[in-house]
Amino acid sequence: MKVSVIGLGYVGSVTAACFAEIGHEVVCVDIDENKIKNINEGISPLYEEGLRDLLLKYAGKKLIATNDYEFAIKVTDVSFICVGTPSAKNGSIDLSIVRAAVKSIGAALKTKEGYHVVVVKSTVVPETTEKFVLPILEEASGKIVGKDIGVAVNPEFLREGKAVHDFMHPDKIVIGAIDRKSGDLVSELYRTFECEVTLIDPTTAEMIKYVNNSLLATKISFANEIGNICKKLGIDTYKVMEAVGKDFRISPKFLNSGVGFGGSCFPKDVKALIGKAKEIGYSPILLESVIEVNEKQPLLMIEILQRKIGDLRNKKIAVLGLAFKDGTDDIRESRAIPVIAELLRLGANISAYDPTGSEKMKRVFPTIGYSRNAEDSLEGADACLVMTEWDEFTQLESEFEKMKKKIVIDGRRIIKAKNIDYEGLCW
Ligand code: UGA
């Protein structure tokens, strides 16, 4: 089939490349000339495992990029909206980019003959597609949804860093279609996968995405709260969760306690669901607690630090890990951000290190020290805080010898070194 993909962020570029890999012809649309040029030359606009290889294989052949909506819509049967849905100031979602994309698709559809399906892949709160996207699309295109054109929601469940793998090995495909015809057409795109397709209405599909992320976030905050209680009782929370996770109804995944969840999805999506619930007159106390636990968790690192070394003024603190998780350079909502902000407020000197995230963190904290490796960061430090679960930190041993005091506070339970003054956040 012929597919257009609007927006070349990590979801859009992965979706485009993977659609090419499973046999479709793909036209990508973005407003960023640089991204378009890169994609057409087979250069990945961002780091995602496996993406580079797919782009090199298909760029200029089954996959092209353009800023020309009209062309992209005309030559394809279906368009996927993969643009960002950032948080507005009050935590609810900002739909201005979605609106602009829908308007442009609508304008291009005006002159197109034949059936076309518009699919919302961007994460949008329940009711957005039917109450927001659909009327804008009808107005901009002059066409009638359900008659001239189709509409569907197809949420993604792609982890950053593992998005290509997750796309190619889905454990669920959810298609929320406005009518049978749209649903069948979108299902057809995925026919090479053995995975079962959940065909449902658009609003339920939107909700599935939020519930998926909110439940995973809830597992983490739950594990963190249990971890905090276990620590006070002298119980190893990881042993507790290992046993609890053996229950097939629970699973051991996402029960690792530590400094909490970051990234562009969990915090934003839980907050957006809270916003939506409040908008319809419901007070979501559990979801609010998930966020509250997650916001308090990184600051517990500072409490331990102060208990160990007292006043932080002019103390050198090594912060290991700036990315929100390992395998990415994304620092959005990284748990290192509130920790660095608090260290600065308390007058500490910071030497930070991350294998990939330093450049992006420099835009947030331009004045702190950044090291080229963990060893340099630890040199002469009064203490070290481990914020991200990078594999290379598990190997650190002799590097800690460079510290003034070998105090290591681990927020991810990954440090294996002996002969250090070690304390875990929840263990
Ligand atoms: C998440 C979901 O896992 C994807 O399914 C979803 O498609 C994506 O959001 C999205 O909505 O686009 P991602 O944000 O890439 O993917 O990150 P995860 O790998 O899920 O990790 C999220 C955070 O939770 C990280 O900060 C990680 O360190 C933390 N985490 C994870 C824990 O603190 N404990 C755990 O046990 C697991």
Pocket test for ligand 1, best of 18, 120, 325 (most atoms within 8 A of CB): 325
Residue 241 falls within a domain, yes or no? yes
On whether both 285 and 409 belong to a single domain, the answer is: no
Residues 238 and 110 in one domain: no
Residue having the nearest C-alpha atom to atom 34 of ligand 1: 256
The answer to whether residue 205 sits within a structural domain is no
Whether residue 259 sits in one domain with residue 317: no
Same domain, 323 and 418: yes
Q: Are residues 151 and 107 part of one domain?
A: yes
Looking at the domain assignment, is residue 321 inside a domain? yes
CATH code where residue 280 lies:
1.10.1040.10
Identify whether 59 is part of a domain. yes
Q: Cβ(213) to ligand 1 under 6 A?
A: yes
Same-domain status, 178 and 268: no
Q: Note whether 45 and 100 are same-domain residues.
A: yes
Residue of 230, 265, 384, 426 marked active site: 265
Tell me if 260 CB under 6 Å of ligand 1.
yes
Extract long-range pairs of 141-145: CB within 8 Å, 24+ residues apart: 141/105, 141/106, 141/107, 141/109, 141/110, 142/110, 143/109, 143/110, 145/178
Say yes or no: 287 and 307 in one domain: no
Global confidence as pTM: 0.96
Query: What's residue 266's pLDDT?
Result: 97
My answer on whether 273 and 371 are in the same domain is no
Residue where a domain terminates, one of 296, 317, 335: 296
In the reported structure, the alpha carbon of residue 260 is separated from the centroid of ligand 1 by a whole-number distance in angstroms of 10
CATH number at residue 120: 3.40.50.720
Number of domains the chain contains: 3
Looking at the structure, tell me whether residues 177 and 65 fall in a common domain: yes
Q: Which residue's CA is the nearest one to ligand 1's atom 36?
A: 254
* Positive or negative: CA dihedral 223, 229, 235, 236: positive
Residue 126 Cβ contacting ligand 1 at under 6 Å: no
Sheet holding 149-153, edge to edge: 63-66, 25-29, 2-6, 78-81, 116-120, 149-153, 173-177, 197-200
Domain ranges, residue 388: 299-424
**277, 296, 315 — which closes off a domain?**
296
- 332 C-beta closer than 6 A to ligand 1: no
Return the structure tokens found at 370. Answer: 């950044």
pLDDT per residue as tens, the chain (427 positions): 999 999 999 899 999 999 999 999 999 999 999 999 999 999 998 889 999 999 999 999 999 999 999 999 999 999 999 999 988 877 778 999 999 999 999 999 999 999 999 999 999 999 999 999 999 999 999 999 999 999 999 999 999 999 999 999 999 999 999 999 999 999 999 999 999 999 999 999 999 999 999 999 999 999 999 999 999 999 999 999 999 999 999 999 999 999 999 999 999 999 999 999 999 999 999 999 999 999 999 999 999 999 999 999 999 999 999 999 999 999 999 999 999 999 999 999 999 999 999 999 999 999 999 999 999 999 999 999 999 999 999 999 999 999 999 999 999 999 999 999 999 999 9
The last residue of a domain, from among 264, 296, 328 = 296
Residue 89 has a pLDDT of 78
Q: Is 426 a catalytic residue?
A: no
What is the predicted pLDDT for the residue at 389?
Answer: 97
Strand-pair partners of 117? 78, 150
Q: Tokens 């100031």 — which residue?
A: 89
Best residue for ligand 1 mutational test, from 222, 265, 300, 332 (most atoms within 8 Å of Cβ)? 265
Using only the alpha carbons of the chain, give its radius of gyration: 23
User: Atom 7 (ligand 1): residue with closest C-alpha?
Assistant: 157
Indicate whether residue 267 lines ligand 1 (CB < 6 A): no
Reading the block at residue 352, the tokens are 């930070």
Which residue shows structure tokens 């829908």? Answer: 102
Is 160's C-beta closer than 6 angstroms to any atom of ligand 1? yes
Closest ligand 1 atom to residue 162 Cα is 15
Residues 216 and 116 reside in one and the same domain? no
> Closest residue (by CA) to atom 2 of ligand 1?
159
191 with 215, same domain?
A: no
